[in-house]
Chain A
Amino acid sequence: MSEAIMAAKKEAKRRKKKNQAPWGLVVLIFAIIVALLFLPQKNLAFSWVIGLSFGFVLQRASLCFLSGFSELIITGNTSLVRAIIIAIFIGSIGFAFLQYTTLTQTSVLIGYVGPVGVHTVVGALLFGLGMVIAGACSSGTIMRIGEGFLLQIVVLIGFMIGAFWGARDYGWWHDKFIAGAPAIHLPQVMGWPLAIFIQLAVLIFIYFALLKYEEKRF
């Protein structure tokens, strides 16, 4: 389904319904109060505001990772995955700057650099499979709960059970796979200039390869 049709449908639906903007205002005031409440703990206040904008953008642009991946496979539409590639591309540039400066100043590596190995493969496979079965990814779950979907509350409960279970088994996975797996931070392997160049080049390549693939499928 094209974006235009989806947008038109939403628009038509919206017109039929009552104006809910006053409720939006209530939520906004609530959000501001919470932000002020946590202001003494700067980290919490920032996390709250960043979470707010994160959820807002996800919903406003209906960025659903599951739809992105499944459309890529089923219909060949890649516009969503390409948007995610853009997000990673922009993120990489900012992360490179922040990682480089903190690393040289404090020699602490910020960001998520995790051990890679069998556990990553198994976990990612499970995650992809579970996503299709549940019909939602983790950001999608959050966004849909905000939209009023009761089903995603069930997905959330499943998520909590699964994460609990996984954390309980973590020791086993750690002994068998994670302990021996290296955390590979690309700039520390090949140097900053090359790592940034290669990563951005690969992302650009994937972006245009997806465009080509889409043209072929349609």
Chain B
Amino acid sequence: MKKNKLYSYGTVFGKVWPYWLGGILLGIINIFSLAFTGKPLRITSGFLYWAVGIYEFFGGKVADWYYFQDVYHKPVLQKSFFINDTSLLVIGAVTGALLSVFLASSFKVRKIKNPKQLIFALIGGIIMGYGTRIAMGCNIGAFLSGISSFSAHGWVFGLFMLVGVWLGVQIINKYQI
């Protein structure tokens, strides 16, 4: 592979792009998302829809949940929980990451190291997931897109997410987890 050539395959797909470039592109993609799909970037609503879709597959009913009376979430009841704009955005993102990794030839199945890691991943995921529903978004929907939408909730979310991370770091340090 040729080295240090600005537009060679190796520089574009083989190397990690600088963070600032990623930031610029992320901002532009978010604008495109709002302009062409009518909604900003978001993720966790997609996760919820899949969970609810599985629940309904096994006979559960969610149509009477207060959550789905919300104007924003009601439309999904008329569609599929798996084939909708948010779901496609999220699956698209996984596919895009996969594409990037393949082009850099760095795909590798990385196994879970130990049961502790597995339990932490599960518990951390549950805590995050719960948080996203009451705060209306995650680091993308509430923080990135919320602030970009000039919403006060985005700023508050960002600030307290930082506090949450700080708390988490203290706990992990204290108990040497």
Contact = CB atoms under 8 A, between A and B. Distances in A.
Interface of A: 3, 6-7, 10-11, 13-15, 17-21, 23-24, 27-28, 30-31, 38, 43-44, 46-63, 65-66, 69-70, 72-74, 79-80, 82-92, 94-96, 98-99, 110-116, 119-139, 141-143, 145-152, 154-171, 173-174, 178, 183-187, 195-196, 199
A166 B15 contact: no
A132 B168 contact: yes
B129 A160 contact: yes
A96 to B, nearest CB: 7
Contacts of B120: 133-135
A156 B168 contact: no
B139 A6 contact: no
Contact of A126 (B50, B128, B145, B154): B128
Contacts of A199: 147, 150
B117 interface: yes
A121 B66 contact: no
Contact of B37 (A31, A43, A57, A87): A43
Interface residues of B, number: 129
A146 B100 contact: yes
A15 B10 CA distance: 11
B6 interface: no
Given A125-B160, A132-B172, A150-B112, A88 B107 contact: no
Interface string B120-156: 1111111111111111111111111111111111101
Question: Top 7 A-B pairs ranked by shortest CB distance?
Answer: A158-B125, A128-B164, A162-B129, A51-B92, A123-B135, A134-B124, A61-B22
A154 B112 contact: yes
A54 B96 contact: yes
